Structure 1
Amino acid sequence: MVNASLTAGSAAVGLVVGAAASWITRTLLRRPAHLAQSWWLGAVITATLLALLGWRIGFHGELLVYAYVLTLGVPLAVIDWVEHRLPRIVVLPQLAGAALGLGLLCVTRFDLASGLRALGAALAAAGFYLLLAVLVEGGVGSGDVSLAAVVGLVTGWSGWPELAGSLVLASLGALLLLLLPHHGSRRKAVPFGPCLLAAMTTVLTISG
């Protein structure tokens, strides 16, 4: 009963904060995209994601941190899907907020090991995408590197296998998008943001 109530409550909160966060999408998108800019799209996606996490994670401090990350992650994913860019004005507060939230959990739980692992995972994920940015000219941007740090921080809090799983799933998703035809040709630019965030959510949902 408690888990069902938390799932429903998380979904309700997701509807509200997702609708509010759609303002970010409307403000930062440079070209008209009516569906992407609609308030209900962000609300429904955010509500679904928070409901999944509420169901799997339960009433723990991590849920608040993950909810914050995903609430900002939905507008980022939409913007990246439409325009292939991840505005740092959103990614950097997302990274700072996640670090602050997990840092508070470290202090309140006297759990330094998880915090150090999360920090190491963030550096590892960012380093991996920075390497991709160097090797694949024009394919990976600074926003992707920053978002990879967010994903590394969040999944690294749970463990190194979660980080590895997220990076593998994100890579598979990017490869699938690359192979899909796009307007009669092959898609040349791959939005890594949606792939990273979807992979992170999948891993967190599975691992609980």
Structure 2
Amino acid sequence: MDAWVVGVAGAWGAASSGVAAALLVPRLAREGGAGRWWVAALVGGAAAGVIGWRVGARPEAAVWLLLVPVAVVLAAVDLRVFRLPDVLTLPAAGGTAALLGAASLLPRQHGSWTHALLGAAVLAAFYGLLFLISPAGMGLGDVKLALTLGLVLGWSGWRTVVTGTFAGFLAAGLVAAALLVARKADRKTALPFGPAMLFGALVGLALNG
């Protein structure tokens, strides 16, 4: 791990996420003002720093870093309006698949494009099943986001897919439990799941990327 990689990655994550949040979140959430762009910058910088620390200067790191501002905007919008916009989720999936295909041809990459595609299919099918079982608890936007996260996690193998998915559900459960204890929510309160999915994917990369 080179310190300069972490620094550059963190700076990119902070700058790109802050700008993306200021420009896109008010429009996608249909709210006025630039929102808390500085929170987005902090979150994006931290996430990108983790990627730089864990993945280093490998080709796939560029793909993960390009996804950071997209992930931050998606999380911010989902937290505000309980929706993951198709205008971001679908292009993110297609772009990630294409970029990973290119990365698989480069030296020093540590992953499999085939595993990434299979990961996308399996994770999307899993979330699709959850959506069919409980549409109130799992949104169609979560299913579409699972395509991108399946690509990201699947690139490093099935262990990463399982770790990242489990971490997402664990994070969502802990947040829900904390809100219940604090009496900020009850068992019928709807909570956005996208941010937990994204956090889980970052954990999966950090542990197995």
TM-score greater than 0.5 by the shorter chain = yes
| 1:145 correspondence with 2:139 | no
**Could you tell me how far 1:140 is from its partner in structure 2?**
1.5
CA distance in 2, matches of 1:84, 1:121: 25
**Could you tell me how far 1:98 is from its partner in structure 2?**
0.9
Aligned to 1:30: 30
Aligned to 2:7: 8
Amino acid at match of 1:195: A
Q: Tell whether the 8 Å contact from 2:167 to 2:200 is kept in structure 1 after alignment.
A: yes
Aligned to 2:92: 94
Aligned to 2:204: 203
Aligned to 1:51: 49
Q: Tell whether the 8 Å contact from 1:177 to 1:187 is kept in structure 2 after alignment.
A: no
Q: Tell whether the 8 Å contact from 2:78 to 2:195 is kept in structure 1 after alignment.
A: yes
Relative to structure 2, which stretch is displaced further, 115-124 or 187-196? 187-196
Q: Tell whether the 8 Å contact from 1:132 to 1:140 is kept in structure 2 after alignment.
A: yes
CA distance in 2, matches of 1:184, 1:150: 30
Aligned to 2:195: 194
Q: Deviations over 1:134-162 (max 9, x none)?
A: 00032212210011111111000000010
Identify if the C-alpha distance between structure 1 residues 103 and 132 changes in structure 2 by more than 3 Å, giving closer, same or farther: same
How much identity, in percent, do the aligned residues show?
Answer: 33
Matches within 5 A, 1:108-119: 108-109=106-107, 114-119=112-117
Amino acid at match of 1:13: W
CA distance in 2, matches of 1:170, 1:16: 25
Question: Partner of 2:50: helix, strand, or coil?
Answer: helix
Identify if the C-alpha distance between structure 1 residues 172 and 184 changes in structure 2 by more than 3 Å, giving closer, same or farther: closer
Q: Tell whether the 8 Å contact from 1:177 to 1:190 is kept in structure 2 after alignment.
A: no
Identify if the C-alpha distance between structure 1 residues 7 and 124 changes in structure 2 by more than 3 Å, giving closer, same or farther: same
Aligned to 2:18: 19
**Could you tell me how far 1:30 is from its partner in structure 2?**
2.7
CA distance in 2, matches of 1:16, 1:187: 37
Pick the structure with more helix per residue.
Answer: 1
**Could you tell me how far 1:6 is from its partner in structure 2?**
1.0
| 1:134 correspondence with 2:129 | no
Q: Deviations over 1:99-124 (max 9, x none)?
A: 11101012335x9x811111111000
Question: Partner of 2:57: helix, strand, or coil?
Answer: coil
**Could you tell me how far 1:184 is from its partner in structure 2?**
5.3
CA distance in 2, matches of 1:192, 1:178: 10
Question: Partner of 1:107: helix, strand, or coil?
Answer: coil
Question: Partner of 1:108: helix, strand, or coil?
Answer: coil
Question: Partner of 1:37: helix, strand, or coil?
Answer: coil
Q: Tell whether the 8 Å contact from 2:154 to 2:161 is kept in structure 1 after alignment.
A: yes
Structure 2 gaps, min length 5: none
